[in-house]
Structure 1
Amino acid sequence: MAKNPLFELYEAGTSVWLDYIRRSLMTSGELQRMIEEDAVVGMTSNPTIFEKAIGGSSDYDDALRDLVHAGIPDEEIMLNLIVEDIKLAADVLKPVYEQTKHKDGYVSIEVLPRVADDTQGTIAMAHDLFDRVGRPNIFVKIPATDAGLPAIEQCIADGLNINITLMFSVKVYEDVARAFIRGLQRRMKDRHPVDVASVASFFVSRVDTAVDKLLAQKIAASTDPTERAGLQKLMGKAAVANAKMAYQAFMRIFNGPEFADLRAAGASVQRCLWASTGTKNPSYSDVMYVEELIGSETVNTMPQQTMMAFKEHGEVRPSLLENVEGARQVLRELAAAGIDMDKVTSDLRVDGVKLFADSIDKLLEEIANKKQKLQQGSGGAHEAQLGTLDNAVSTRLEQLEQTAVVRRIAEKDAGLWKSNGSTQTEIRERLGWLQVADRMEERVPELEALRKELVGEGFTDVVLMGMGGSSLAPEVLRQTFGAPSGGLDVHVLDTTDPAAISALEKAIDLGKTVFIVASKSGTTLETLSHYRYFWQQAGQKGGQFIAITDPGTSLADEASRRGFRRTFLNPPDIGGRYSALSYFGLVPAALGGVDVSG
């Protein structure tokens, strides 16, 4: 089998880890397949991942039933479920751990967010989790809070493998690296082995999400075309520049005198682990945070969709050492534009702890709900009685499993449909809907904030101007949910009938209406006609207009030039009639007050 880009990535010095866990990955053999075919040599987990895995599947129902019957508290049930997954993953990864001489083959388990600001509580929980799992190839994840730093040093000194998480700042990274070194120095002083493993998880894409939001606000407020263009050029640049500075700090610290004695004693470096590497902005490359962060002694932990995207079209080059001065210049320009990176990264760390705490709360709530159903006898997986069709259906399902149809669809394997190369390329370029839910989930807070912003400014209505796939989902959602409280009244305009346009205009207050111009190509004649008409009728006010289109279209250019309030660039690999869960469906739904968070 020819090596795919994931193996090339590993050979370039960046270990491939999976940022996901679910029991069926281990029990079905899928994790073993990924080790063999996708160069996976490690796994990470966090409270949000477990919330989705346990709350969103029936994988855990049998184990949950046993734990409920044992009468133990909900948090203990949760920890039992999590620890069992970590054990299973560690066992599958154990051969990798041995083959790589303990460099890879790890799975991570995180201390609960409630101890994030409690040093002694963190130390105690780290030891408890390490002992519960009872495997050498695990990392305990500790957040890089002020209270976490001394806990990291102590746990390293105690001989625990530690993954330091929720790092966004280069300064905090340097503090973490030195806490690791101090912990090893204490072990060396006490004549203990210094073969303790550690990775420093530096979060990436969330930095761009936060900085891009601030840049977008500055762009919208600026009337100077030159200033707007300069700000626009900085979009999507902060995260990689920030990470490159962290890597420079890594090389300076671990190749310098601070680590020299430990290196001589056989200690391994604390590798940089790039986390949050799924692309949050659909207009950016889906492998951006992998391709731009390749270098020796690093790890990239990826969501499944990012890993499959890189397997399909990723390109490997030593990018972490490219244009380092350009990265510094980006950060200088951001500072000159008024973007305070210290504040951005500090806020992200606080928000990260809260996000994980919220996930634990949701998971405990889900466990309580499942517990209640099980106690009532209504929980567990459903079974279908198909009568005379049972054998035929079972045979067909076995065939689908044997040929890995579901996995191949998820991997955008166009060979399932056609063998012609050019046709396969065209098919793959239309399969973005497979990951659209995951890609858009991170955008939900932004859409909800936009709704609150518009309602707060006194807007009452929103007109969606689009044809075909650009209007079908908004129309269905409008008819299904009506006008929920707290949202704008959504009107869908997908006709050129003069009477319908006139009736719509009479039904709204032009001064209190937002207009969404939705066109994948950016050239849909009917939609542009609607837009130009209402642009004039509404007084040519960019703040009342929003565009949804693909990257690089003439509509996107015009929206920027005319100062539209927002331009949402949709993933270009999603066809119009598959776009319900993309910006084309979610923007009007969110503005209309629909709970798009699920």
Structure 2
Amino acid sequence: MNVSKVKQIHEFGQSIWLDFIDRKFIVSGGLQKLIDEDGVKGVTSNPAIFEKAISNSSDYNPDIAEHSKGDITNEEIFFKLAISDVRQACDILWPVYNEEGLVGADGYVSLEVSPFLATDTLATIDQARQLWQEVGRDNVMVKIPGTESGLVATQAAISEGINVNVTLLFGLDRYEATTEAYISGLEKRAADGLSIDHISSVASFFLSRIDILVDPFLDDKGLGELRGEVAIASAKMAYQTYERVFSTDRWKALAAKGAVPQRLLWASTSNKNPAFTDTRYVEALIGDSTVNTIPMETLEAYRDHGNPASRLNADLDKAIEVMARVKAAGIDMVAVAKQLEEEGIEKFNQPFQKLLGAIELQKQGNHLD
């Protein structure tokens, strides 16, 4: 039997997680099949994914009706639904989490705090604690946006022993600040005499949205030949930061106490430009000690025509040149990252608001088909 091309990626040190969750998919054995056949090692979710799952299915109607009997908000109902799905996915992935005695290497399921809290540090910390406790699984990761306030919350959550998936990262400066939040959180926990050998975190660096925003600027600057190159170049530069940060004496002191590096996770990996291959953001960034979370259609495309090989550290000179030319052309990547962060928050707020509206309709008896 031929080994899935998706599964072959793991031979190069990269873990493939699925950027999708849905109750029917979980209970029907779909997730288990991907674990068995494609080597999927984790699951990520976000408000948009849950909005599609809940709004387009009647599977959640009985639970919504039951939860609606109490004095409870629509947002609280949503999190009860999401926590139920995440628990089930965590249980399915538990053997992966415990694989070959490497507890904590993979097997995680990510659940995001409310997108409405993106700039509220204290509320984010409170909800991270609540979700961690209510899911009640060691292999859950709480997703916290990598906003300035979100990174303060991340540091606090890590210091309390909560696994964190830092999401919505678009720029190199903010990515390095994310590593600082993780390391500082571990240092605080260690200073308090608490164990740090069971904590895991990923830094989710978003890709396709960078190119969507930057490519028109490149055309305006006469740099059309760099279309589709900036996100990959940025990711390769981020990986250089990862290798530097997690090889310092400061990090080694934590590693001696059992700490594991905060891996880079490539997100937003479905190509949105038909001029490029649909596996572009998977193919170019396969590398050791990283994660790529991919939607179902990208996974299926890679299974069909992927070409797995280690490429993340290849053509670094080209990546450096791309970023230098972009800077020389006057394209401010810090401003680009800030715009994308703000747009990203809004892109999660909108489906979350729509989701709460769908729950309200079902509470009133207007069940979806």
Using the size of structure 1 for normalisation, the TM-score is: 0.60
**Equivalent residue for 1:215?**
218
The C-alpha deviation readout for 1:283-329, integer Å capped at 9, x for no partner, is 11100000111111100000000011111111112111001111010
Distance 2:208 2:59 in 1: 30
Deviation (angstroms), 1:56: 1.5
2:93–2:108: 8 Å Cα contact kept in structure 1? yes
Deviation (angstroms), 1:72: 2.5
Distance 2:43 2:94 in 1: 12
The question of 1:119 aligning with 2:111 is answered no
The C-alpha deviation readout for 1:163-195, integer Å capped at 9, x for no partner, is 100000111111110111111111221221112
Q: What amino acid sits opposite 1:177 in the alignment? A: T
**Equivalent residue for 1:2?**
2
- 1:211–1:380 CA distance, 2 compared to 1 (3 A): closer
Map 1:54-453 to 2 at 5 A.
Answer: 54-99=54-99, 100-195=102-197, 196-216=199-219, 218=220, 228=222, 231-372=223-364, 374=365, 379=367, 381=369
The question of 1:49 aligning with 2:41 is answered no
**Equivalent residue for 1:559?**
none
SS of match in other structure, 2:42: strand
Distance 1:251 1:91 in 2: 32
Deviation (angstroms), 1:69: 3.3
Distance 2:116 2:20 in 1: 22
- 1:356–1:380 CA distance, 2 compared to 1 (3 A): closer
1:19–1:301: 8 Å Cα contact kept in structure 2? yes
Say how many residue pairs are matched. Answer: 366
2:229–2:322: 8 Å Cα contact kept in structure 1? yes
Q: What amino acid sits opposite 2:367 in the alignment? A: G
The C-alpha deviation readout for 1:354-393, integer Å capped at 9, x for no partner, is 1111111111111112222x2xxx5265xxxxxxxxxxxx
1:15–1:300: 8 Å Cα contact kept in structure 2? yes
Distance 2:30 2:55 in 1: 20
Deviation (angstroms), 1:258: 2.6
**Equivalent residue for 1:39?**
39
The C-alpha deviation readout for 1:458-485, integer Å capped at 9, x for no partner, is xxxxxxxxxxxxxxxxxxxxxxxxxxxx
Distance 1:313 1:255 in 2: 36
Map 1:468-507 to 2 at 5 A.
Answer: none
The C-alpha deviation readout for 1:193-234, integer Å capped at 9, x for no partner, is 112110000001100111013224x16xxxxxxxx4xx1101
Deviation (angstroms), 1:122: 0.9
Q: What amino acid sits opposite 1:180 in the alignment? A: Y
Q: What amino acid sits opposite 2:97 in the alignment? A: Y
What residue ranges of structure 2 are gaps of 5+ in the alignment? none
2:45–2:112: 8 Å Cα contact kept in structure 1? yes
Deviation (angstroms), 1:71: 4.9
Percent of aligned pairs sharing the same letter: 44
Distance 2:154 2:72 in 1: 30
Distance 2:278 2:202 in 1: 24
Distance 2:276 2:250 in 1: 38
Distance 1:301 1:121 in 2: 27
Distance 2:74 2:150 in 1: 26
Distance 1:59 1:215 in 2: 46
1:62–1:380: 8 Å Cα contact kept in structure 2? no
Distance 1:185 1:95 in 2: 29
**Equivalent residue for 2:16?**
16
Deviation (angstroms), 1:89: 0.7
Distance 1:69 1:123 in 2: 29
Deviation (angstroms), 1:70: 3.7
SS of match in other structure, 1:319: coil
The C-alpha deviation readout for 1:132-179, integer Å capped at 9, x for no partner, is 111110000111111111111111011000110000011111111011
Using the size of structure 2 for normalisation, the TM-score is: 0.96
Q: What amino acid sits opposite 1:118 in the alignment? A: D
Distance 1:257 1:233 in 2: 41
2:158–2:186: 8 Å Cα contact kept in structure 1? yes
Q: What amino acid sits opposite 2:73 in the alignment? A: P
Q: What amino acid sits opposite 1:83 in the alignment? A: I
Deviation (angstroms), 1:65: 2.0
Distance 1:69 1:153 in 2: 37
Distance 2:190 2:36 in 1: 37
What residue ranges of structure 1 are gaps of 5+ in the alignment? 220-227, 382-598
SS of match in other structure, 1:43: strand
